[in-house]
Structure formats: C-alpha cells, structure tokens
C-alpha cells in the first residue's frame, strides 16, 4: 500500500484541530498511576503510543477510565494482573515502566513488540541497577525480568543520549528508600523533554532539585505523591505538519486548540518550533473570535534558518521540508542524535532530493539549499511517523503525485493526520500497489498444484497461451542482447531434448553444463527436465580441481561449456582435464560458440542437425517426483556436497515464494546471480517459469550495467546476495538514474546491514526483504513487502507457509522464542539427500527429520528469525560468547566501514579472541573502532581486539563471506608473529 499525495490547489483553508500532547499524556498517566487516589487528566490522546501506556498500566492493575474528554486514573501500588507486561511499540513506555515495575507487588517481565528484542537499553539497565533495582536482561534488550523490591537510591550516572532514560530514572527515584543523585554525562540531547518530566512530577507533589546546567538531579527518597488534575496542552509536534502545509501554500487556516502565545509561554518540549517557523516568515496571528492561531497569507517566500537539533530533534523532518523551498540555505546542526530515532531521519529526508530538492549531509550537519519547485516521486517512509507526514506535506507542494510506503505510520502519534489535512484542502489517500501503470493479476496456482505439473509441460502451456510473449532477455556476454519468445524457447528446448536423446541420455542421468547466465543455460536446463534427466550446473568460475571433483562425483557423460568467458578458453581447459583424468565418464563435450578441439562438438550445429520427435520426447515425460537437479554446495568450508532435488520440490519452492511475496505475471524477474547457483537457478529462472514471466539475464555482474538493464527492461523482482544490493545502490547514487519499476529485492546469503537496507529502500524505492535459505532446503524464511521495516530487512524473515522452523539446545530440546540456539528447518522443499553420501544425509537430519542448518538463530514471538552466525563462527572468549552478527551489523553503520567480518583468533589465555577484518577508509583504525563501539555502549568483552584492514572480503560466487579463509589467515599471521 502507498499513501498517495496530490499537489494542492492554489489555496488551502478551513480549520485544523490540534490534538493534545502525547508527551504530557504519557507522563501524566504514569505519574497519576503512582499517586494514591483519583487523578484527572483533561484531554484525551489518540496517539498509538499513549494507548500502549494505558494498556501497560492496566496490566499492572491500574484503573484507567475515560470520562467524556478526560482520563480518570485510580492510582496506588501496582498489583499486576499478569506476569508479562507489554509496552507495545512505545519506547517511552518501555523506558519509564522498566524501573517502575520494581514497585509492583509481584514479579513482572517487561516485553514489547518483536523488534524491541533488538533495542539495546544497557545504559538504562545499568543505571537502574546502580539505583538498586533488581532485574535481569541477559541480552541487554527486552524482555526485562523485574523483581518486586523498592530501589535503594544512590549515585547514578547516565549518558545524555536519550531523554527518556533520564526521565525514567527521575520518576522512579522519589520511591527509593534513600536519596538519589543522577548525573548526566556526555552529549545531552533533548533536555526540554527532561524539563517537562520535572515540571509534571512537581504537579503530583514529587520534588527534584536541578542544577543550573541540567546535568545533576538530586531527589529525596520515600516521597509520597498526591493525585492531581492536569490539563493536557496541544501537541506542537502534530501542529507542526499543519503549520508547514500553510507555509507552502497560500492559506487561511485556523488551528483550533493551539492558543496564540509566544513560544516561551507554551508548555511543550517542542515549543521552539513555533519561534523557528515564525523566524522563517510564517505569519501566525491570534484569531479574534477564538484566540487560537490563524495563518493567513497569499503566498510567502520562506527565509532560511539555523536549527540546533538538540533542542527539537524530532522536528528535523518537517523543518527540512520548509528548508527545501526556503530562499537560501537552512542548516541543521548536531544531527547525529536524529539518526538514532525510529529510523535514520537524516538519511530519510535526503529523499527530498528525488523530488528536486538540494539537501546534503556532512558530519553532524544537514544543509538544505532552497529550490523553486518540487516534483512528485515514489518515496519510503521507513515506517517512521514523522518521516511519513513530513514527506506527505512536501508532496502537497510537488508537481504530480507523491507515493509513500507504510501509509498508516502516522497512527503512532497523529491518528487523524490525513483527515485533518483533508479538512484544509490537501488530498491524501491510501492506494495499493507501487507502479502507476495497471497491473494484470494472475491466479497463481497453489504450491501443491504447481508442483504436480512438470516444468516442461508448464513451458508448453506458456508457448500455447502467449507464443509471442517475452520469455528470456539475454543481455549477452558480448553486449549483444537476445530475446526469446515463449514459442521460440519451447522450440529450442525440443531441439536440445532431441539432441540429448540422440546422445543416449537416460532418465535420471546427470547432464553437466558450466555456463554463464545466457539463454542457452535456460533452454538446456528445461530440455534436461523435459526428458527426465538431471541438471548438474557447475559454476563458470570453477577451475580444474573443483570441476574434476564434480564431474567425477556426478558421473556425467555429457558436458556443455562456452567457447570463452571472462578470458578463459574452456574447450582447451576441458581437453587438458580429460586427458589427465582418464577415469571421468565424460563422452560428449558440446561447446557454445564453436570449438577447434578434436572430439568436441559445436553446440548450435549439433542442435540444428537433429529433427525433434515430439512423440519420443513425450514418451520421456519427466516424473515430477523424480530427481531433477544435482547441485554442488558452494564450499564455504570442506568438500562440496552433491545435493539432489526432485522436480516437484523445486517447483513447490518457487510457488511458495511467489505466494509469499505476491508476485504476478506482470513481474519481470532479473537474474544477476549465477544460474549455476540455487539463487539464480531456482529463485530466478524457475520462479519466472512458474510465474510465466520474463527472465532478464546478466552474465557478468556490474552495478551500472544492472541498473541499465533494470531500467531498459522494467525489472520488478530480484533475489541476490548483499554485495549485489550494495553495488546497485551505489550505481543509482552515482548516476542519478533509478530502477523505476523495481518492487522487491530479496537479499540472501547474509543479513543485510541496517544502514545499507535503509539506504537501499530509500534509493531504490523498493522493498528490501531479508531471507534465509540453503541449497538443501530452499527458502525457509522470508520477509515480505508489507511487513514492518524492522522485520522486512532487520530480520531473516518468517517461515513460508508450509515450512516449520525451530531453535534447539545442544541436546536437541526445542527452545522458547527469544532464546538463541541451533536453527533447524522442516518442510516440503527438503532435498533427497547427498549424492553417494548417506552418512552425511543422516548427520544433517535430526532423528525426527529436521534439517540441521549449522546456524545459530533466535526466533521471536511473532516467528521472525534472526540468524546470529554459524555455529563454527562463534567466538568463545574465555567462556563468553561474542555476538558476532550483532557486532558486524553495528560496525556496518560506521561511515568509514564498507564491509566487516568478525572471526575467532587463537589466544593462549582465553582460548579465543575476536578479530575484525574490515574494508574501510583510512580514518578507521583500532582506536576509532574502540571509540565507536564505546559510544554505542557495547560491552568491552565483545569488542574485537585486533583489526585487519583488507581490500575485499573473500566471498564465494553467491556473495557469502568465506570466514574459514579469514580464520586461516589470522592464524597464519599470529603464527608468523610468534615465530619472529
């Protein structure tokens, strides 16, 4: 779905109702819950986060009632109704109630929405522990188990990173058995929110002594709050979007509920916004009849401003919209903290450049150079309420139409946003789909029905139903594109099938081919399938050692290779190989592009020389339950294993992904991953065939070439490893071109770093979906475009329908959600077994038939998977397990780091320590890494203790980092150093 915003008419007008402040509502409700007796809060808030606070308080046994336009709160000691208290998706509720839960009569565990299990709150937990709160949070994230015991107070220090942490400590301190002194260290952001907490505490009779600089708070213990009646003021943060709209258009708008008063007299932590927009030239006057703010003008040119984001960090999104059209350059200072919000709001607002704006970010400063006009664009909101609303307001001033992802994110803070904008004449509506062109839907068969049809039969039907429709677009190894229709592809497949029959290929016999991504690969794979043989694709990059091993293991008699690819002479190499390996079964070598080597045949000539016998081919119709693919694992460690799959398994797996992602016949599948790997073979070529959609093949990876192909052929879907995603994003940023039809990028092979995922979502305008799969099981988990952003690319997805996932301990016992363990998969897409290695097959499966992936994972309450690395990749530092994946993800957010991999290095005292291999700029060294991790409050035992900078990380052809090579490298370095 998208929020569709249309350009506004020449003039807007009417009334806009400003909601009550959610900041006051949060604090008022919580303080009232602590005061024995009945308190009344005048004014209701519909903000989603406030509803989470109410629900959590009710879970703690507090009566919260709605009386007309008031909240009535019956306060007193917390008597929990249940052992788990959910704070929903509200960070404020989490930070405030975690400590206050210690005042309850019985133990409680603070939980939240699934992605809160990755929200680090170690500094807050450490400060609460200093204050005497007894709690347990092994991961430093929720869930947090809190023991009922009044805190003791004491001296507490806390970094000024988040105001809610400080506010949470302040609200708890009066209930300690002794006095507390809270000291704020480092950069102090959002002090105005802390000042609000202190003011509201005093309304309930709780006293705090504040130093002049706001960095030291002294609170006596054993204080007794009293009930109070508090009127909730208007929410300046919500009014900001209406004010911005009136700044962009000739207006006559009354802001009902927003009294006309100087900013210094407004009780709201974001009151500075009123002065900022006034300084930019917005004429806000007092309406004579109501005393409320009215904006009336016939068009203005805004003046630029300089904004210190430490005072109004949440206002950067909406103010950057005004700066984008101001007469000059608006400067936002100290933006680093703004990047730690629900999303990286600085990066998110750089999307204004896609609307014709001129924003640039450097260090802790964002500059907006004003432009004369904006144009509509497809943008991402990152499921961030303020980003969504700010970009929507910008869209009302843009020529054409603006479309925004996650169209209901506004509900978190301003549920009536679209209605209020509509009341003053701005058109916003929710629509489905991304593309502006109509999409022809297709009834995709269920996986079970799809799996019952041989893929060769599926091709026949496509050739009959849409003979002139595009089937294959081959970008060409030589740069010359070729296009095959479904009829041409079907005819070519019959000819190759006839050739294979002439060569005596039997049912179930492997046919090997070592080809790049080209049309012949597709036709050959389908011909092999049509006669019931087994495809054995070999990666083009493999050399003699690997090729010899795989040919010997498969027993293939037929081998197809290219004449030349990437400077290699394949006919000569194969001739030399066969001359030296007399035991190989290869009898027929077919060369695409011709050959001069005696005994080898030109593939095209051999195909043209046969006359297909449809009846003979039909008699060899493949059995869907028979073996169809022999694929050798990529060999990130040890000997490659020959994985056997049935045709039904492949087709079912493709149909399951199609259903999960909502793909249709209108999609166009782009395949940059090698077709000789399961990602390209199954989730590129095979998915396109099951869909009946065109497949676009790129033989040699290059980001700019990929971008050109996507644009020229309107590619909509791609599944590839993270490096492909990174290079594509670079290409878009370097050229300014966009893959306008791309809808979905499924990133496999490794978790996508959050910074890259956000950047890719913003830059590509597509959903970036995390996934987990293996050669043996196909895809096990996959996110989807409709999932919340933290799930879409912040996890490895959720189980596809029909797949079961679990996490077990080392004894094989299933573990509950939220606990890390051995990741296991069970489903209808499992392999037949390892070729000629039944003992390996037995070892890979549990006694009850689940596949042991070898990965460590956590599955949250909603079923989303987070892979934390391979079992063998764990760093065991003196018994402390280093969270390798978490550290890698965090280091990826450093601006100088492009790639990061943490591996174990031997240590005589601790057994192992962590070593970081990084592709990074000159400014990134060991000292900078330590400073960075310290600033992110990472426990020191988790810090890598050695840094090796490399030009690139070793990867297999599908993009997986070969950590066994890195472990070997660091062992060799240490051995050399010890020897010297």
DSSP one-letter code for 676: T
Cα-based distances in Å from 7 to 12, 427, 889 = 11, 8, 39
**CA 803 from centroid of its chain's CA atoms:** 21
Two tokens, residue 912: 């192992």
Cα separation of the two ends of the chain: 63
The DSSP string of 436-466 is: SS------PPPHHHHHTS-HHHHHHHHHHH-
For tokens 């007193």, the residue is 76
d(CA 489, CA 470): 10
For residue 205, give every residue at least 6 positions away whose Cβ sits within 8 Å of its Cβ, in sequence order, or none: 35, 223, 224, 225, 226, 228
Q: What share of the chain is helix, strand, coil (3-state, %, to 5)?
A: 35, 25, 40
Half-sphere exposure at residue 98, Cβ-oriented, CA atoms within 13 angstroms: 33
Q: Is the dihedral of CA 613, 616, 622, 627 positive or negative?
A: negative
d(CA 386, CA 237): 9
Q: Smallest Cα–Cα separation from 652: which of 625, 679, 673?
A: 625
For tokens 């009646």, the residue is 229
User: Radius of gyration over alpha carbons of the chain, in Å?
Assistant: 31
d(CA 396, CA 415): 19
For tokens 């079907």, the residue is 490
Q: Rounded to the nearest 5 degrees, what angle is found at the Cα of 669, between the Cα atoms of 665 and 673? A: 155
Cis peptide before 143 (omega within 30 of 0): yes
**CB count in 10 Å sphere of residue 179:** 16
**CB count in 10 Å sphere of residue 469:** 15
Q: Indicate the length of the chain as a whole number.
A: 980
d(CA 789, CA 409): 11
Element (H, E) at 17: strand 12-17
Cβ proximity of 477 and 518 under 8 Å: yes
Query: Helices 316-324 and 236-248 meet at what angle, rounded to 10?
Result: 10
| Residue 314 annotated to the active site | yes
For residue 763, give every residue at least 6 positions away whose Cβ sits within 8 Å of its Cβ, in sequence order, or none: 729, 732, 733, 738
Select which of 314, 344, 667, 860 is catalytic. Answer: 314
Cβ proximity of 917 and 979 under 8 Å: no
For tokens 């060999």, the residue is 635
Q: Smallest Cα–Cα separation from 771: which of 725, 737, 703, 812?
A: 725
Q: Provide the annotated active-site residues.
A: 314
């Amino acid at each position: 779905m998208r929020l569709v915003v249309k350009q506004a008419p020449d003039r807007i007008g009417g009334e806009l109702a400003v909601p009550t402040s959610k900041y006051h509502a949060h604090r008022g409700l919580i303080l009232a819950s602590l005061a024995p007796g009945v308190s009344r809060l005048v004014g209701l808030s519909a903000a989603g986060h406030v509803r989470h606070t109410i629900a959590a308080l009710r879970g703690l046994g507090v009566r919260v009632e709605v009386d007309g336009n008031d909240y009535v709160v019956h306060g007193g000691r917390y008597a929990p109704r249940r052992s788990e208290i959910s704070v929903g998706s509200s960070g404020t509720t989490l930070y405030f109630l975690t400590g206050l839960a210690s005042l309850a009569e019985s133990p409680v565990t603070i939980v939240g929405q699934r992605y809160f299990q990755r929200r680090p709150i170690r500094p807050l937990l450490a400060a609460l522990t200093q204050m005497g709160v007894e709690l347990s949070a092994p991961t430093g994230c929720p869930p947090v188990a809190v023991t009922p015991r009044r805190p003791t107070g004491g001296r507490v220090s806390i970094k000024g990173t988040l105001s809610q942490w400080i506010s949470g400590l302040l609200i708890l301190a009066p209930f300690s058995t002794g006095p507390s002194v809270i000291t704020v260290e480092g950069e102090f952001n959002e002090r105005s929110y802390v000042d609000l907490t202190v003011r509201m505490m005093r309304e309930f009779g709780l006293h705090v002594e504040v130093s002049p600089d706001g960095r030291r708070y002294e609170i006596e213990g054993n204080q007794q709050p009293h009930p109070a009646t508090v009127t909730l003021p208007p929410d300046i943060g919500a009014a900001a979007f209406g004010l911005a709209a009136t700044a962009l258009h000739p207006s006559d708008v009354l802001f009902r509920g927003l009294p006309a008063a100087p900013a210094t007299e407004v009780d709201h932590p974001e009151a500075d916004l009123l002065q900022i927009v006034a300084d930019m030239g917005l004429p806000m006057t007092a309406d004579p009849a109501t005393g409320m703010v009215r904006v009336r003008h016939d068009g203005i040119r805004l003046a630029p401003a300089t904004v210190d984001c430490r005072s109004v960090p949440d206002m950067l999104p909406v103010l950057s919209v005004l700066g984008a059209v101001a007469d000059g350059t608006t400067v936002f200072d100290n933006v680093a903290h703004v990047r730690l919000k629900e999303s990286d709001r600085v990066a998110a607002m750089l999307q204004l450049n896609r609307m014709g704006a001129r924003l640039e970010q450097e260090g802790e400063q964002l500059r907006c150079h004003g432009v004369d006009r904006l144009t509509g664009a497809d943008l991402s909101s990152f499921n961030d309420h303020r980003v969504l609303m700010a970009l929507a307001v910008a869209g009302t001033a843009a020529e054409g139409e603006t479309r925004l992802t996650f169209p209901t994110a506004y509900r978190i803070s301003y549920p009536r946003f679209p209605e209020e904008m509509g009341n003053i004449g701005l058109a916003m509506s929710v629509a489905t789909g991304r593309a502006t062109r109509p999409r022809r839907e297709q009834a995709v068969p269920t996986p079970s029905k799809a799996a019952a049809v041989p893929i060769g039969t599926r091709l026949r039907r496509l050739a009959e139903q849409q003979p002139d429709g595009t089937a294959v677009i081959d970008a060409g190894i030589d740069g010359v594109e070729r296009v095959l229709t479904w009829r041409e592809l079907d005819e070519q497949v019959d000819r190759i099938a006839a050739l294979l029959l002439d060569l005596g290929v039997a049912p179930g016999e492997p046919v090997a081919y070592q080809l790049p991504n080209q049309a012949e690969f597709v036709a050959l794979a389908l011909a092999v399938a049509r006669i019931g043989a087994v495809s054995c694709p070999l990666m083009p990059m493999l050399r003699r050692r690997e090729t010899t091993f795989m040919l010997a293991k498969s027993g293939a008699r037929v081998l197809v290779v290219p004449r030349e690819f990437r400077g290699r002479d394949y006919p000569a190499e194969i001739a030399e190989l066969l001359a030296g390996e007399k035991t190989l079964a290869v009898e027929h070598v077919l060369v695409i592009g011709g050959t001069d080597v005696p005994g080898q045949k030109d593939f095209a000539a051999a195909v043209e020389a046969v006359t297909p016998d449809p009846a003979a081919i039909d008699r060899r119709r493949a059995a869907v339950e028979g073996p169809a693919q022999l694929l050798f694992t990529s060999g990130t460690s040890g000997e490659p294993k020959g994985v056997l799959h049935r045709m039904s398994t492949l087709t079912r797996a493709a149909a399951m992904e199609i259903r999960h992602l909502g793909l249709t016949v209108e999609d166009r599948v782009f395949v940059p991953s090698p077709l000789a790997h399961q990602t390209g073979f199954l989730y590129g070529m095979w998915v396109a065939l099951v869909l009946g959609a065109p497949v676009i093949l790129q033989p040699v990876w290059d980001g700019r070439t990929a971008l050109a192909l996507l644009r020229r052929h309107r590619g909509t879907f791609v599944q590839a490893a993270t490096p492909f995603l990174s290079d594509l994003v670079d290409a878009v940023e370097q050229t300014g071109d966009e893959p306008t039809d791309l809808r979905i990028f499924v990133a496999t092979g490794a978790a996508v770093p959050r910074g890259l995922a956000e950047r890719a979502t913003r830059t590509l305008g597509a959903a970036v979906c995390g996934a987990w799969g293996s050669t043996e099981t196909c895809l096990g988990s996959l996110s989807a475009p409709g999932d919340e952003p933290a799930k879409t690319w912040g996890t490895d997805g959720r189980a596809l329908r029909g797949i079961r996932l679990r996490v077990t301990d080392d004894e094989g016992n299933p573990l509950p959600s939220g606990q890390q363990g051995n990741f296991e998969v069970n489903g209808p897409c499992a392999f037949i077994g390892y070729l000629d290695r039944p003992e390996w097959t037995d070892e890979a499966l549990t006694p009850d038939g689940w596949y042991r992936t070898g990965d460590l994972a956590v599955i949250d309450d909603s079923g989303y998977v987070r892979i934390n690395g391979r079992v063998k990749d764990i760093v065991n530092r003196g018994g402390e397990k280093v969270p390798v994946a978490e550290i890698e993800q965090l280091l990826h957010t450093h601006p100088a780091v492009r790639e990061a991999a943490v591996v174990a290095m031997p240590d005589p005292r601790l057994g192992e320590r962590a070593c970081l291999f990084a592709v990074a700029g000159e400014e990134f060294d060991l000292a900078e890494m330590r400073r960075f991790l310290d600033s992110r409050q990472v426990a020191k035992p988790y810090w890598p203790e050695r840094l090796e900078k490399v030009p690139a990380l070793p990867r297999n052809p599908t993009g997986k980092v070969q950590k066994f090579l890195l472990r070997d490298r660091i062992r060799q370095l240490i051995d050399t150093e010890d020897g010297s």
